[in-house]
Amino acid sequence: MSATVLSASGGEPTDAVRADPASKRDLWIVFWIFPIFFSLFGVIFVLLARVIPPPRPDVTTDQKVQWFAAHATTIQIGFAAVCVVFGGAAIANGYVAYQMKRMSSGSTFAYAYMGSMAVGTLPGLLLVALCFLAATFRPREPRITALLYDLGMLSFNGSLGCFATGYLAFAIAILYDKNQIFPKWLAYVSIWQIVTEVIATQMWVSSAGPYSWNGSIAFWLAVIVFGFWLNCQGIFLKFATDRQPAGTRPVD
Amino acid sequence: MTNTEPTAIASGPPASISSGRQSGVHLPGDGHMWFMVLGDLVIFGAYFIVYIVQRSMAPAAYLQAQQHLNITIGVLNTLVLVTSSWFVAQSVQATAAGQHERAIRLLYGGGACGLLFIAIKACEWSMKITQGYTTSNEFFMFYYMLTGVHVLHVALGVLILGIVVRELRNPRRQRLSVVEQGATYWHMVDLLWLVIFGLLYVVR
Amino acid sequence: MQILAEAEELPKTTNIKTQLVALWTSAVSALILLIAFIAFPGFWPPMSPRLTADEVASFYRDHTTWIRFSMVTFNLCGIMLLPFFCVVVVQMKRMASQSQAFAYCYLSAVVSGATLFALSDVFFAAAAFRPGRDADLVLLLNDLGWIVFIAPVGMILAQNLMLALAVYLDKGPNPVFPQWVGHLSLLTLFAMLPSACAAVMTSGPLAWDGALSFWLRNGAFATFTVVMFFVVRGAIHRQAVVEGVAR
């Protein structure tokens, strides 16, 4: 079967003939990395590294040092694991960008999404791992350890612009898409993501209360909306993969 | 006249959501817009609840900060926005009656009120900032956040009204459902303001 | 590769030519990076994580010039390898039996990975910037530089995984890359994987100066890149022949 057909593929009637699944193997491999990576992410960041939910900003230097001491082992295991598996984020986001290319709205926002997510991975995911690994690497002056605590949390929870840009690209692309790769309401959820992120920027200002990096508004509300959005994105990524005709590729 | 082709705002709803329409019940607007509106209300509702909880933990401090809000400006903003909602509601009726020119004029009126609202809000903010009330105070943090996110919604609403006007200008379209969607969004923005006004300005 | 005279002015020839330009500029950049690598005193031998703050601070004071030279060079030329990886993306997109999903994920990983290299460079440069800085702060910057340089291998692993899978699934009469490229990618992946432990270990082969985390990791990556240079060159040549641009 010739697979060099270049088609602006996308939505087709739901009664389309299912093509040979083996020929979509590459899509499925990449798709499954999405939930696998985010599950690992959850286990590592919640159970091992203990940064979701985040440790408090309104503590003393000594308390920060004690926090690192109490969790050093799991932090090291978890974040060393992050150093190995964080490439899954690139694959997950790359695959979303790929599906976005199948939209009739063109490649512009697919590339914008890819760009902003690829850039955002460093401050928004990896930097906390690197700072906390440095903090637990050797005993240091308390003020330096406390610095790494703040640095890690402020970048992890506070790197919002990159992702807001990505979500905006995602939302706009969906709203203009006539190939129905993703449902329209997912665009609205993406916009809520942006709103919660814009509000969460205040965590660089407040060290206590609802707008601090562990606050009810800047953290909890934002992470609940994020969790909902991520699950929706994953589910509809699967539907989009289901519906993509085998042997097709997006417009170059 | 039902909406069957995808638009920039919301596409024709998938079969699961439009079942209400097929059974003869007319849900004004579109399933997607209602999803957006309800979700927005839920999220804002969460913010309001947090505000109320935080306020109850420090009522004296909040009360003292609230004194510095000018309730007159708040009332003025409320009147402006309610008037705009009246214009927009009228324009829906005008569209349904086929009076597209009148509908467009009413939408301009609604949009102009929206812009006026934003201008008044901007003045209020600059007054507060020059008076020294910034986000360092917890009440004012909520004030700036809630009114800020709301004013972004108003700006988006003005944009949406513009899209509706463009729809009405195109003689091949002029779909009622698009006007209804725009109105739904605008009324939500109005409703949110009423709650914000009540919580921040009035309840003392 | 000889571009045919009659194909010189064709538009499709420019695609071949730009790939070759990307290939060769990356080769030059790689050579310069090699010089910078040799010039950085901290690699010969690789600095031990067990050095004290004072020892690290005096290292930066004593070798400031060479450190700065190498870091500036890394800064300029490190990301200049990017075009090479982009040629790989272009070739991956040519694989006939695929949907190109691997290629786009590969590109995402390349971009993210490049930001890391840039960051570690900044830490080393900052450590060398003020020789009079407190020793415990220089130690911190040095630690961060080393950890960021060695440990986060995830993006390179993702790249190599995508490339290996793409090669293995590139079935059909005209594969873009030979099958052993897939094996080599995976081999490199496993060679580099253990160096994530450098963020945790202070001694032994897994520490950032150790045989696994430093020598094997960097040696494997360099070898892979050099081999891929020739592989990609061959792929471009085959593309040119298929498209009638070269003989």
| CA dihedral (C47, C52, C58, C60) positive or negative | positive
CB contact under 8 A, A117 and C100: no
- The answer to whether position C247 is within a domain reads no
CB contact under 8 A, A180 and B46: no
pLDDT at A10 over 50: no
| Cβ neighbours of B75 (radius 10 Å) | 13
Q: What is the pLDDT of residue B1?
A: 36
Q: What is the pLDDT of residue A92?
A: 97
Q: Domains in chain B, start-ordered, CATH in brackets?
A: 28-202 (1.20.120.80)
Low-confidence ranges of chain C (pLDDT < 70): none
Tell me the count of A-C CB pairs closer than 8 A. Answer: 156
* C178 contact partners, CB below 8 Å, separation of at least 6: C167, C231
pLDDT at A190 over 60: yes
For C164, the domain range is 5-242
The pLDDT profile of chain B, 204 residues, written as one tens digit per residue, is: 333 333 344 444 443 333 334 444 566 667 888 888 899 999 999 999 999 999 999 889 889 888 888 889 999 999 999 999 999 999 999 999 988 899 999 999 999 999 999 999 999 999 998 888 887 788 998 999 999 999 999 999 999 999 999 989 888 888 888 899 999 999 999 999 999 999 998 877
Q: What is the pLDDT of residue A248?
A: 83
CA A128 from chain centre, in angstroms, equals 14
pLDDT at A11 over 80: no
Instruction: Indicate the number of domains in chain C.
Output: 1
Q: What is the pLDDT of residue B25?
A: 57
Side chain identity at A93, as an amino acid letter?
A: N
Average pLDDT of chain A is 89
* C176 contact partners, CB below 8 Å, separation of at least 6: C91, C92, C94, C95, C167, C170, C235, C238
CB contact under 8 A, C196 and A84: yes
Confidence of residue A186 (pLDDT cuts 50, 70, 90): very high
Tell me the C-alpha distance between B33 and B15, whole Å.
15
Asked whether C139 and A125 are in contact (CB, 8 A), the reply is no
Supply the DSSP symbol for A173.
H
Q: What is the pLDDT of residue B29?
A: 63
pTM of the model: 0.86
Phi, psi (5° rounding) for residue C246?
Answer: -135, 170
Instruction: Closest CB to A119: pick one of C115, C143, C161.
Output: C115
Q: Which residues of C141-171 are buried (b: 16+ CB within 10 A; e: fewer)?
A: bbbbbbbbbbbbbbbbbbbbbbbbbbbbbbe
Rounded to a whole number, what is the distance in Å from the CA of A210 to chain C's nearest CA?
32
Flag the least confident range among A116-130, A159-173, A193-207: A193-207
| More confident position, A116 or B22 | A116
Instruction: Closest CB to A83: pick one of C139, C169, C199.
Output: C199
pLDDT at A152 over 50: yes
- The answer to whether position C130 is within a domain reads yes
Neighbours of chain A (3+ CB pairs under 8 A): B, C
pLDDT at A184 over 80: yes
pLDDT at A17 over 70: no
CB contact under 8 A, A98 and C107: no
Q: What is the ipTM of this complex?
A: 0.91
Q: What is the pLDDT of residue A21?
A: 52
